Copies of this chain bind each other. A is one copy, B any other.
Amino acid sequence: MKLNIGIIGMGFMGRAHSNAWSQLNKFFDTDVEICLKAVACRDKARGEAFAKKWGYESVETDWRAMIARDDIDVVDILTPTYAHKEMAVEAMKAGKHVICEKPCALTWQECHEMAEVAKETGVVTYLNHNYRRVPAVALAKQMIEEGRLGTIYHYCGKYMQEWIMDENFPLTWHLQKEAAGAGPLYDLGSHNVDLARYLVGEPTAVQASLRTIVKERPEASAGAATFSAGESTEGNAKKPVTVDDAAFLILDFENGAIGSMDTSRFAAGRKNFNCFEIYGSKGALCFNLERMNELQYYDMTNDVDHQGYRPILVTEGSHPYVGAWWPQGHIIGYEHTFVHAFYDFVEAVRTGGKMTPDFEDGEKITKVLQAAQISDAEGRKVRIDELK
């Protein structure tokens, strides 16, 4: 079976996705043959350079044109958040399977529309919370499902970065509500909530404090991108930052657990500090994306004198996804998680199965995040089921 991929977007994510598509058939055994068919880009020259480097067969300057093509099976959407819903809906209606970068959309209502269209059209959708498929995280899931943690009492999530601490870092789209929906609450917190839902269960209520630390920033000059200030912003006009710079949450879970979730882009020294601690009646697990090949495990069934948090080096062939790569002890990197996800996605397409997380998950995640915004605004605990 052959799957023709059409991609919209060419930045950091464009490279990560294109790499994953091109690695898939080299490392994973599947009957699906990936074909990089088209890239959609308004700027034809840029699109062609990108297509040449990554092996796409063609360039479309209008994403609608690409979606309309018969020879595209999968549309892979990597644009800023505000564009997700329109593109995804149109692609699904055209019968394409859709991959969409996170966060899902600006509001839970947009996500809901995406989920509804997915249901109607029956296509396979995947919302790219790629950290579910870090082998260490997949192993955590496996261990929780095996009952190794028993009843879960606590989820302590944290996602900290530092890349906009400089007050002259420009007002990129990530810092504008109409483009991004929110700040780290969405960008980082959506990952945390995804992992919380995946590993612990459904949140039922949220309390939150959000904070915008740098209130206005210079407009961006050329070359600005996620993580990169681009050319000097000296002399550029300053405009208001309309998203949070940090968001701290408390989560109540359906199963009785309580959790915390701290996100910030103002945490000195934290580069990609996506962490969780999960405490259960029989043990605990800890993860830190900066050491993503490790999973710490505390096993209360060990005898009391010899217990301790052991960092499992998740590089055994028997660990999830690892067998496709290298022998034990040879670690993998960030981008491998995309390959794992795309492998599962194409298998779902091939078998007619379901992929997770999908747009329905996106809706649930976004409700939690928007509940946090309401909580912050109104100074009260907000039940998730209030959002309907």
Interface-lining segment among A70-78, A88-96, A170-178, A328-336: A328-336
* Closest beta carbon of chain B to A375's beta carbon, Å: 8
Contact (A246, B258) CB under 8 Å given A54-B26, A290-B329: yes
Task: Scan residues 245-276 of chain A and give those whose CB is less than 8 A from a CB of chain B.
Answer: 246, 248-250, 252, 256, 258-260, 262, 264, 266-273
Residue in B211, B290, B302, B318 whose CB lies within 8 Å of A258? B211
If A26-B54, A330-B333, A333-B333 touch, whether A269 touches B307 (CB-CB below 8 Å) is yes
Distance between Cα atoms of A338 and B326 in the complex (Å): 13
- A165 to B281, Cβ gap below 8 A? yes
**Chain A 7-36 interface mask (CB, 8 Å, partner B; 1/0):** 000001000101100110110000000000
**Contacting residues, chain B, for A388 (C-beta < 8 A):** none
Chain A positions 294 through 324: 1 when the CB is less than 8 Å from some CB of chain B, otherwise 0 = 1011111010111111111101101100000
Residue ID in chain B nearest A261 by CB atoms = B260
- Report yes or no: A298 in contact with B269, Cβ–Cβ below 8 A: yes
Is the CB–CB distance between A327 and B154 below 8 Å?
no
**A252 near B333 (CB under 8 angstroms)?**
no
Q: Measuring CB to CB, which residues of chain A are less than 8 angstroms from any residue of chain B?
A: 12, 16, 18-19, 22-23, 25-26, 53-54, 139, 143, 153-154, 156, 158, 160-161, 163, 165, 205, 207-209, 211, 213, 226-228, 246, 248-250, 252, 256, 258-260, 262, 264, 266-273, 277, 279-284, 289-294, 296-300, 302, 304-313, 315-316, 318-319, 325-336, 375, 379-381
Task: Looking at the assembled complex, report how far the CB atom of A167 sits from the nearest CB atom of chain B, in whole angstroms.
Answer: 9
- Complex copy number for this chain: 4
List 6 other contacts, CB 8 Å, given A161-B329, A307-B310: A19-B26, A211-B256, A248-B259, A270-B284, A271-B329, A291-B291
Specify which chain B residues have a CB less than 8 angstroms from the CB of A156 in the assembled complex. 158, 262
- Write the chain B residue with the least CB distance to A158: B156
* Complex CA distance for A145 and B319, rounded to whole angstroms: 33
Residue ID in chain B nearest A245 by CB atoms:
B153
With A and B bound together, what is the CA distance between A326 and B260 in angstroms?
29
Instruction: List B contacts of A304 (CB < 8 A).
Output: 316, 318
Q: How far is the CB of A301 from chain B (nearest CB, A)?
A: 10
**CA distance in complex: A203, B345 (Å):** 47
Hey, which chain B residues are within 8 Å of A379, CB to CB? Answer: 205, 380-381
| Interchain CB contact (< 8 A) of A279 among B267, B279, B328, B375 | B267
Shortest distance from the beta carbon of A387 to any chain B beta carbon, whole Å:
16
A124 to chain B, nearest CB (A): 25
A147 to chain B, nearest CB (A): 13
CA distance in complex: A53, B300 (Å): 37
Asked if A306 meets B311 with Cβ closer than 8 Å, knowing A227-B327, A281-B165, A284-B269, the reply is no
**Closest-CB distance, A250 to chain B (whole angstroms):** 5
Q: Which of B262, B334, B375 contacts A331 (CB 8 A)?
A: B334
Minimum distance in angstroms from A82 CB to a CB of chain B? 21
Q: A268 to B312, Cβ gap below 8 A?
A: no
Please provide the 4 A-B residue pairs with the shortest distance between their CB atoms, ordered closest to farther: A271-B329, A272-B329, A308-B310, A310-B310
Complex contact B250–A268 (CB within 8 A):
no
Taking CB atoms, residues of chain B closer than 8 Å to A205 are: 379
